[in-house]
Amino acid sequence: MNVIELAGPSLDALRPASRDVPRPGRGEVLVRLRAASLNFLDVAVATGAYPGPTFPMVPVADGAGEVAELGDGVEHWAVGDRVMPHFLPDWQDGSLTPSTLAARRGVTRPGSLAEYVAVPAASLVAIPDHLSFVEAATLPVAATTAWRAVRSAAIGPHSTVLLLGTGGVSIFALQFAKAHGARVIITSSSDEKLARARTLGADGTINYRQTPDWAAETLRLTAGRGADLVLETGGAETFAQSVGAAGIGGTVFVIGFLTGTQPTIDVIPVMEREIRIQGNHTGPVAALRAAAAAMAAHRLVPVVDRVFEMSDAAAAYAHLAGGKSHFGKIAVNVGA
Ligand SMILES: NC(=O)c1ccc[n+]([C@@H]2O[C@H](COP(=O)([O-])OP(=O)(O)OC[C@H]3O[C@@H](n4cnc5c(N)ncnc54)[C@H](OP(=O)(O)O)[C@@H]3O)[C@@H](O)[C@H]2O)c1
């Protein structure tokens, strides 16, 4: 089968290769992949900033395709079913444990830049009928994370949600927060992207280049109340302001490190406003299933910025790694 291998921790180390089609073991399913989608995580793997991979490897956490063969003992799936294999195949539900993190598609297990992959049947989620393979491939990491963020803070029509930037997770969170009836404020470096976010339902927009104190602007836009949920994607350069933008009892949902991993923060506002700092590691298969169900119920369609061919995977990585030009998700067509 055709694959794209990552030969080492470098964006220049992506190369076409040929590998044997894997055989599904007991409890596994062979999936014929039809699409993949990139996350910032995949760039981190390809630049040596994410621990775990052994090179050469087949990269990219997220994908979607159809069931091609069932291993022994597999029930509930049939050849031809449209499925998404989850990034964390061994974390089905419940609390995170160290053993559930060992298997990570596109990091310690074969990823999605391959025509076929064998995965545990329990790690599959059915693709909502209204989504294409390309759209579905964008869900596992980003939609699961955005879904957990919105659910973590009991968001409803009374809530304000602050989203940082217009990348993959933020745009899913915008869609889910609006589906929960919340008011959404979103930041971006680009007025054009902010205008696009408004068409998706964003109520307040802040250009964080033109308004560097976006925490103060969030307080202004909420009459001093602050946000009930801040989806913290930035890390070093944004964490302190995310805390500053959170209201009393608000949640800062910590997922990202786009600007580095070691912020300096003042603990006083965290204590005084009883702010909840909640970390997140994507989420289990059950959270992906719930996110997919919400997308089906609300007829939400992932925002796909651009679709690349598998032979052009390096360009897809470069588009994401550039960090500034995309809005939502970047996808890759896999196979014929
Ligand atoms: N822990 C978890 O569970 C989890 C899960 C998924 C993702 N993540 C992490 O979350 C982060 C976002 O992931 P993603 O896949 O959504 O990334 P992405 O699609 O690459 O989004 C990046 C966007 O972030 C915005 N951005 C960059 N610097 C910023 C800054 N200083 N302030 C505000 N926004 C800034 C930019 O938006 P504009 O172009 O609009 O300015 C950029 O387009 C990454 O660090 C990723 O590793 C963590």
Q: In a mutational test of the pocket of ligand 1, which residue from 88, 169, 196, 198 has the highest number of ligand atoms less than 8 Å from its CB? A: 169
**Within 6 Å (CB) of ligand 1, which residues are found?**
39-41, 141-142, 145, 164-170, 187-190, 193, 208, 233-234, 237-238, 255-259, 280-282, 320, 323-324, 326
Could you identify the atom of ligand 1 that is nearest to the CA of residue 257?
A: 45
pLDDT (tens digit, 0 to 9) for every residue of the chain, 336 residues total? Answer: 999 999 999 999 999 999 999 999 999 999 999 999 999 999 999 999 998 999 999 999 999 999 999 999 999 999 999 999 999 999 999 999 989 999 999 999 999 999 999 999 999 999 999 999 999 999 999 999 999 999 999 999 999 999 999 999 999 999 999 999 999 999 999 999 999 999 999 999 999 999 999 999 999 999 999 999 999 999 999 999 999 999 999 999 999 988 999 999 999 999 999 999 999 999 999 999 999 999 999 999 999 999 999 999 999 999 999 877 899 999 999 986
Q: What are phi and psi of 332, to 5 degrees?
A: -135, 130
2-138+302-333: CATH topology is: Quinone Oxidoreductase; Chain A, domain 1 (3.90.180)
| C-alpha of residue 193 to centroid of ligand 1, in Å | 14
pLDDT at 336: 65
Could you identify the atom of ligand 1 that is nearest to the CA of residue 142?
A: 6
Which amino acid type is present at position 217?
E
Alpha carbon nearest to ligand 1 atom 45, residue:
256
Q: How many CB atoms lie within 10 A of CB 93?
A: 12
| C-alpha of residue 229 to centroid of ligand 1, in Å | 16
pLDDT at 17: 97
| C-alpha of residue 296 to centroid of ligand 1, in Å | 25
Q: What are phi and psi of 141, to 5 degrees?
A: -80, -50
Distance of alpha carbon 146 from alpha carbon 253, whole angstroms: 10
Indicate the domain borders of the chain.
2-138+302-333, 143-279
| Cα-trace Rg, the chain | 20
Positive or negative, the CA dihedral 109, 111, 115, 119 is: positive
Could you identify the atom of ligand 1 that is nearest to the CA of residue 44?
A: 47
Could you identify the atom of ligand 1 that is nearest to the CA of residue 330?
A: 19
Domain 143-279 indexed as CATH 3.40.50.720: yes
What is the pTM (predicted TM-score) of this model?
Answer: 0.97
Alpha carbon nearest to ligand 1 atom 37, residue:
165
| C-alpha of residue 40 to centroid of ligand 1, in Å | 7
| C-alpha of residue 22 to centroid of ligand 1, in Å | 33
